[in-house]
Structure 1
Amino acid sequence: MSWLTYYLGLFPGLFLLQRDVTCKEYQKVDMIIKLQDTVILKCAYPEMGKMIQLSWEKKDGDAKHKIAVYNPKRGEKIFFPYNQSVTFLSSSISGDIKLKATAADKGLYQCSINTFPEGVLLKHIAVIDPAKFPRSRAADNRVQIVPGNIMTLSFGYPNVDSIKQLTWQRMAGEEISIIVDITPSQSFIGYDYKRRIQFIKSPDQNISLTIENVTTNDVGVYSCHIDTNNGNWTKTFDVDVEGDIKMFLIFGAIALGSLVLVISVVTIICVWRSKKRKANNTQFQKGTTERHNQRRANPNSYTNPDVYDRPNSRDMEYQEEAIYANL
């Protein structure tokens, strides 16, 4: 089933979704991040088709500034001056980069992935001033998820004639992910949620959002905001991992960390012992060589223990016992 069919009937006359959204200062924004000393820009490769090349750029009006490129065959390249502040995180194929940011790094960033046969995949991230980053509000409902299952969030709103705008978004830490942003004239689905969501408006004025195959990365505060001719409504959901599974993940992480620590300590001890043994062998060989050289240089020297300890036969010949006789 095509992902477009999930949205039929959302608004009267709205049947096709266009990749467009207006978000105050920026357009086509999939994620909003608060400016910090270190900013993580995420562009997870969805493994749709074969990756040909992945690239990062910063958009300044109509101009684009190259940041980094990753090619599966040729590796990665980071362009000046970002080679002083940008690094790829772990596996370059994921596309995530770390930016040591300053105030000059505010702006709109674009990640593009050329794939075959899917074509070009685009993700846009806005890095904004901390003062403009919205604050989270208290959740109206709490929802627990099980990784691998389906999560459904429902929002019932008063019966009104028309909806001017409807937005679902997720806040986690210092970043906001846009899930959907829909108006009667345009629609937008976030990069990280394509092919993974169902969005249905039922006749009883109930709007539900369903996300398939949820993971621990889907934890956060979700909010649904509806703007109508008669007022605005917002509902929030605090989504967390189910208790038992959460404890399992915590204990699993602790066990893994302990195992890594033990392995590290054992490795350090083994390396230290190996170096110490090697140093002792080297010292022993050095001392043996020095004694050998001393013997060759002066065989009669008292520093030579073999010579020093050897009895002197000439001295022993003259050591005679005195004999006394009475005549």
Structure 2
Amino acid sequence: MDYLTFFLALLLMHEGLCKEVFWDTTVQLSKTMALECMHPSIDTLTQLEWVRMKGQNKENIVIFSTIYGMKESETYKDRIHFPNSTMTPVNPTLFFHNASEADVGLYSCTLYMFPFGVWTKTIQVVQSESFDKAATLNSEIVSAPGQKVTLMYELQKNWTAQQVTWERVQAQQIDVLSLCNLSQGRNYTSKYLRELWSTCSQGSRTSLLVLPGVLPTDSGIYRCRFESSTGENDTFAIRLTVTDGKSNILFVAGGTVLLLLAILIIPTIFISCRAANNYRSPTSTNGSMDDAGDEIYVNYPTFPRRQKTTV
């Protein structure tokens, strides 16, 4: 019986060590950084926990309860700022100041919301040289607000892809929007704040990411990455620009102003020209001068010439 217990303990330990850890957001280490943990149902929050994961262990950073208040770890108390000390407004973002290389690692944010349940987000903090924000733009899409935007990419390589990932790349963080295991046809559930959906079918070589009802805040770089089991990858980056509508309003307003000016100016010019023509006298000297230049014909009577008589 003791051997069986020992064997089961080893099996559980092996399973825990081999379990792959996925992170929802990658943040570049900086002296001041923010770890975001927003959820659409955050207004029903009852408790929030920030922990740092060290292998199989967890280190508490801060715990916030709408009933019991907030408890901060002494280890992080002088290096973090957590704005929530009252029930509202709720902002679960964890702010670091004077961060150093010692803060590189995995962090987890857990929200307890009634009646939604428990929601957890994992954030990876990496050093600058490990922060892969490089993205050579391959395409660009411009959309008006409120439209449904579909981002698509087809694998250009001949090898078989095992995984496809859609990301939003920003200056200080990269958010995983969709992660699909193509060998199993299993899709990872995104912890990204906005609504979106993507395709995920076994053996597929084309991936779609759909963003319904886009807003100007959705503007940015989106990256699609196909990966093979041997480490090969094929990356495609798209820049999405969502207009704010102000440029269209200015264009319409400018066109209206120009039209009104044209309506006012053209009749004014026409009236001025007619007034200038009417100012000229109908018996001007020009007419007499023209008459003086004409030839005058006078009819003289013709008298017969008398012949002289010769004596």
**Counterparts of 1:37 and 1:48, CA distance in 2:** 28
3-state SS of 1:131 partner = helix
Aligned AA for 1:210?
V
User: Which residue among 46, 53, 59 is the counterpart of 1:59?
Assistant: 53
Q: Which moved more, 1:26-35 or 1:119-128?
A: 26-35
3-state SS of 2:199 partner = strand
Aligned AA for 2:207?
I
Q: Which residue number corresponds to residue 118 of structure 1?
A: 116
Q: Which residue number corresponds to residue 224 of structure 2?
A: 224
3-state SS of 1:46 partner = coil
3-state SS of 2:121 partner = strand
3-state SS of 2:223 partner = strand
Aligned-pair RMSD on alpha carbons?
A: 3.2
Q: Which residue number corresponds to residue 167 of structure 2?
A: 169
**Counterparts of 1:66 and 1:34, CA distance in 2:** 22
2:43, 2:90 within 8 Å by CA — same for their partners in 1?
A: no
Cα distance 1:69–1:215, how it changes in 2: closer, same or farther (>3 A)? farther
3-state SS of 1:191 partner = coil
Which structure has the larger Rg? Answer: 2
Query: Normalising by structure 1, what TM-score?
Result: 0.60
**Counterparts of 1:227 and 1:204, CA distance in 2:** 12
3-state SS of 2:132 partner = coil
User: Which residue among 79, 84, 103 is the counterpart of 1:105?
Assistant: 103
Q: Which residue number corresponds to residue 242 of structure 2?
A: 241
Q: CA deviation at 1:28?
A: 1.8
Cα distance 1:75–1:128, how it changes in 2: closer, same or farther (>3 A)? same
Work out the number of aligned pairs and report it.
223
**Counterparts of 1:108 and 1:229, CA distance in 2:** 25
Matched, 1:137 2:138: no
**Counterparts of 1:77 and 1:246, CA distance in 2:** 48
Q: CA deviation at 1:180?
A: 1.4
Q: Which residue number corresponds to residue 32 of structure 2?
A: 38
3-state SS of 1:169 partner = strand
1:70, 1:93 within 8 Å by CA — same for their partners in 2?
A: no
Q: CA deviation at 1:88?
A: 2.3
1:32, 1:176 within 8 Å by CA — same for their partners in 2?
A: yes
Q: CA deviation at 1:201?
A: 6.2
Q: CA deviation at 1:232?
A: 3.9
Matched, 1:76 2:70: yes
3-state SS of 2:23 partner = coil
What per-residue deviation string (whole Å, max 9, x for no partner) do you get for residues 74-97 of structure 1?
Answer: 443322122211112476613112
Q: Which residue number corresponds to residue 315 of structure 1?
A: none
Structure 1 unaligned segments of length 5 or more: list them.
1-24, 249-327
Identity of aligned residues (%): 22
Q: CA deviation at 1:199?
A: 1.4
Q: Which moved more, 1:60-69 or 1:144-153?
A: 144-153
Q: Which moved more, 1:122-131 or 1:239-248?
A: 239-248
Q: Which moved more, 1:158-167 or 1:235-244?
A: 158-167
What are the residue-to-residue correspondences of 1:139-218 with 2, within 5 Å?
A: 139-158=137-156, 162-183=160-181, 184-185=183-184, 186-192=186-192, 196-200=195-199, 206-218=206-218
Aligned AA for 1:121?
W
**Counterparts of 1:110 and 1:246, CA distance in 2:** 41
Cα distance 1:172–1:159, how it changes in 2: closer, same or farther (>3 A)? closer
Structure 2 unaligned segments of length 5 or more: list them.
1-18, 250-311
What per-residue deviation string (whole Å, max 9, x for no partner) do you get for residues 129-148 of structure 1?
Answer: 11111142221111234444
**Counterparts of 2:175 and 2:133, CA distance in 1:** 14
Q: CA deviation at 1:62?
A: 1.3
Cα distance 1:85–1:208, how it changes in 2: closer, same or farther (>3 A)? same
Cα distance 1:193–1:170, how it changes in 2: closer, same or farther (>3 A)? same
**Counterparts of 1:99 and 1:229, CA distance in 2:** 37
Q: CA deviation at 1:158?
A: 4.4
Q: CA deviation at 1:234?
A: 1.9
2:219, 2:241 within 8 Å by CA — same for their partners in 1?
A: yes
**Counterparts of 1:79 and 1:56, CA distance in 2:** 10
User: Which residue among 41, 58, 71 is the counterpart of 1:47?
Assistant: 41
Aligned AA for 1:200?
T
**Counterparts of 2:143 and 2:92, CA distance in 1:** 27
Structure with more of its chain in helix, by fraction:
1
Cα distance 1:204–1:118, how it changes in 2: closer, same or farther (>3 A)? closer
Cα distance 1:75–1:246, how it changes in 2: closer, same or farther (>3 A)? farther
**Counterparts of 1:211 and 1:188, CA distance in 2:** 17
Aligned AA for 2:94?
I
